[in-house]
Amino acid sequence: MNINATLLAQAIVMIVFVAICWRYIYPPILSVMQEREKKISDGLEAAKKADDSLEEAQLAFNQELDKAKAESAELIDKANQRASQIVNDAKSKAQDEAEKILLAASKTIENETNQAKEELKSKMSEIIIDTTQKILDEEISSEKHDDLLKKAAAEL
């Protein structure tokens, strides 16, 4: 173990290597690492922001959804009301109509009955007149008389 100029040479060599490392090796590696670190932290921050805005959007979406649901419920309610109203209207109208038709029909029937009665009256009187004439015109036996009467009765 003898100390000699190797010591000085090694000290100089070390200073040279340290200088090379300090100047050319260390900074580029460190800068890449720092750049990546920054990118990652930026990315995380962006992700957090996106998360937040997603949450916000979700909230807004839910609000909108609730509003839309309420609106649609209201609409359906209204529509239902309207529909039942229409049905009721239609029902009452139909009933009115039916009553009217019934009324008209019964009137017509009455009229026709009356007419028929009138006709019958007039025809009967005609027949009576006719028969009476025939009875009067012909000499009639009591048999014939009965016959005639029977005929008239059958015709009636």
Partner 1 sequence: MAKELTTQSYIDHHLTNLTCGKTPDGWSCDPHSIDQMGFWSFHVDSLFWSVFLGAVFIFVFKWAMPKNVDASAPPTGLQNFVEMSIEFVEDNVQSLFGTTKNKLIAPLALTVFVWILLMNLMDLVPVDFIPELAKSVGIEYFKVVPTTDPNITLGMALAVFVLTIYYSITVKGLKAFVAELTLHPFGKWLIPVNFILEMVNFIAKPISLGLRLFGNLYAGEMIFILIALMLFFSSIPVGILGFGLHLVWALFHILIVALQAFIFMALTIAYLAMAHETEEH
Least Å from the CB of residue 51 to partner 1? 21
For 71, 78, 79, 90, the CA distances from 84, given in Å and listed in that order, are 20, 10, 9, 10
Tokens of 153: 């009765």
Positions 45 through 104 that interact with partner 1 (CB under 8 A): none
Give yes or no for residue 136 binding partner 1 (CB under 8 A): no
Which residues 17-56 are close enough to bind partner 1 by CB under 8 A? 17-18, 20-22, 24-26, 28-30, 32-33, 35-36, 39
- 11 binding partner 1? (CB under 8 A): yes
Residue 126: other Cβ atoms inside 10 A? 10
What residues line the site for partner 1 (CB under 8 A)?
1, 3-15, 17-18, 20-22, 24-26, 28-30, 32-33, 35-36, 39
